[in-house]
Structure 1
């Protein structure tokens, strides 16, 4: 169900038919809305990536933050973790088929962002 906003007789805004919690947008944002989450999925779209390579691809995020987001994505079934039998041991991550379903709208977000004027910035 979606919210409908109307003004009452005194000009106050009233909300009717509010979304059941959580609404579809809220559920989606809970899945991939965390900071760096979309970037991680985007960088895994072309194939498995070792952790250290992924952390280099995502400038500005600490390894601790990337680790936390990867654990969340793995728990949600969006990413698969594989420990490689190498010396030293390394870990690589791969997007799952379920995670790949997010790439379409992440690509649309990328295209939308690139279409914005250069002086448009987030607060």
Structure 2
């Protein structure tokens, strides 16, 4: 029982992070590979650019997403999942399969 009490705050923190609106969808989109900010924005058109910026920064802070600056002209940024993010995406993947079967418009 002691192990469960120690695990609870970590589980709670995890669900709090992935439960935020748009977070899971951002991870889902990045599972297909690195994306520029504009590509993320186009993939999730209902998500405002301001909130996308906020969520991506939060995912960076948690080590789930990494931002790479590409020194082309013009300079651009690309976002991709870290190993931690890929593992989380692999867990979230079955949710999309469940949604296809059970969630109706």
> Deviation digits for residues 39-72 of structure 1, max 9, x if unmatched?
1111111221111111100120011111100000
What corresponds to 2:13 in structure 1? Answer: 27
- Structure 1 residue 115: deviation in Å? 1.2
Larger relative helix fraction:
2
| TM-score for both structures, normalised by structure 1 | 0.73
Q: Which has the larger radius of gyration?
A: 1
**Higher relative CO (CA 8 A, sep ≥ 6), structure 1 or 2?**
2
Please, which runs of 5 or more residues in structure 1 have no aligned partner? 2-18
What corresponds to 2:35 in structure 1? Answer: 49
RMSD: 2.0
Larger relative strand fraction:
1
The number of residues matched between the two structures is 102
| TM-score for both structures, normalised by structure 2 | 0.84
Please, which runs of 5 or more residues in structure 2 have no aligned partner? none
Q: Greater shift after overlay, 110-119 or 96-105?
A: 110-119
